[in-house]
Amino acid sequence: MPKKMKNGIESAQAIAKRCRSKPLKEKPAPTEKKARAIAASRLAYDGMPARPSFEAKCRPDGALVLDARHNDEQGESYLLHAATGSASDAWVNHAVKDLAKVGGARGVAGVTSAEVNAGLAFLSGVEPGDEVEAALGVQMYATHQLAVEMASLCRHTNDRAALMEYGNMATKMMRTFAMQVDALAKIRRGGEQVVRHVHVYEGGQAIVVDQFNHHGAGNGKAFGQPYAPFAGHAPAFSAPMLSQDAAGNGVPVSSDQGQKTMPHARRKQPRRASRKPE
């Protein structure tokens, strides 16, 4: 019978002594399939970049102090500057402070080392090239935190009104996160849009044409439309479509149909329905 305390709860010393008296059950070795997966994961882990990691301490005045976990403090500082996308110490301090604000637990004063390092790892994964991309990365981390928190609250409530409120907020945050990812990609493209046209010809031949539109230019409907030729001007003929013929001859016209003039693609005057006089 284990030793009990006065309130009927077993003491911590008694629990530790009882656990030490029992022999630990030896765990089995991983299966062959699991061992192969572990070996592949170890190689992938070795190829992953190292992230900045600090011991975070909050001073009585509320300031956050980061201390490197090894003796190369300057090297860890370089990792921190790379994670925040700036050589400015002022911006690095500002970005870390913002990460601590959105990464800490709700209703808890201060922030833990794990919470700070998690935010820095996320920002490092964004790989910001400058302060603007780093600021967007901090906002993405804040949006992610809110989305997960709202989803968690949604899972732990039985109130229908609260369920809808938390669910809608979580959905909005997830959509916002996706928009932020698109905004980051657009910044890195410089506003350039890529439109890919795929032309598939007879015989399975395909030609892929990439069209680049800078800052949305070239998307207007007034350009590149198939207007009919004006009077007095000869129509321009394009190259014939490729056929299954290896020589690349044009597609022949069916023998039972004569060559007919194609109607104009556009009319000078819009077609309107005739109205009967009232």
pLDDT digits (tens, 9 = 90+) for 195-220: 666 767 666 666 666 565 555 444 44
228 or 267: which leads in pLDDT: 267
How open is the CA angle 130-185-53, to the nearest 5 degrees? 50
CA distance 102 to 141: 8
Regarding whether 164 and 211 lie in a shared domain, the answer is no
Percentage with pLDDT > 90 across the chain: 53
Regarding whether 213 and 163 lie in a shared domain, the answer is no
Regarding whether 183 and 56 lie in a shared domain, the answer is yes
Regarding whether 197 and 173 lie in a shared domain, the answer is no
- CA–CA distances in Å: residue 222 to residues 182, 217, 225, 268: 28, 12, 7, 14
- Which of 88, 120, 89 minimizes the C-alpha distance to 103? 120
Residue with tokens 């911006």: 91
Q: Please report the sign of the dihedral spanned by the C-alpha atoms of residue 176, residue 182, residue 188, residue 190.
A: negative
Task: Give the pLDDT score at 277.
Answer: 59
Task: Give the pLDDT score at 22.
Answer: 65
In this prediction, residues 64-82 reach a mean pLDDT of: 95
Task: Give the pLDDT score at 63.
Answer: 86
CA distance 58 to 112: 9
169 or 13: which leads in pLDDT: 169
Regarding whether 61 and 99 lie in a shared domain, the answer is yes
31 domain residue, yes or no: no
3-state secondary structure (DSSP) of residue 144: helix
245 or 148: which leads in pLDDT: 148
Task: Give the pLDDT score at 222.
Answer: 43
Check whether 4 has a pLDDT greater than 60.
no
Regarding whether 185 and 57 lie in a shared domain, the answer is yes
Residue with tokens 């029992």: 22
Query: Dihedrals φ, ψ of 51, to 5°?
Result: -110, 155
At 162, the pLDDT band (50, 70, 90 cuts) reads: very high
Range of weakest confidence among 5-9, 93-97, 129-133, 184-188: 5-9
Query: In which domain, by residue range, is 214 found?
Result: 193-220
CA distance 2 to 28: 30
Regarding whether 144 and 206 lie in a shared domain, the answer is no
Regarding whether 216 and 160 lie in a shared domain, the answer is no
How open is the CA angle 60-62-68, to the nearest 5 degrees? 90
pLDDT digits (tens, 9 = 90+) for 176-187: 999 999 999 999
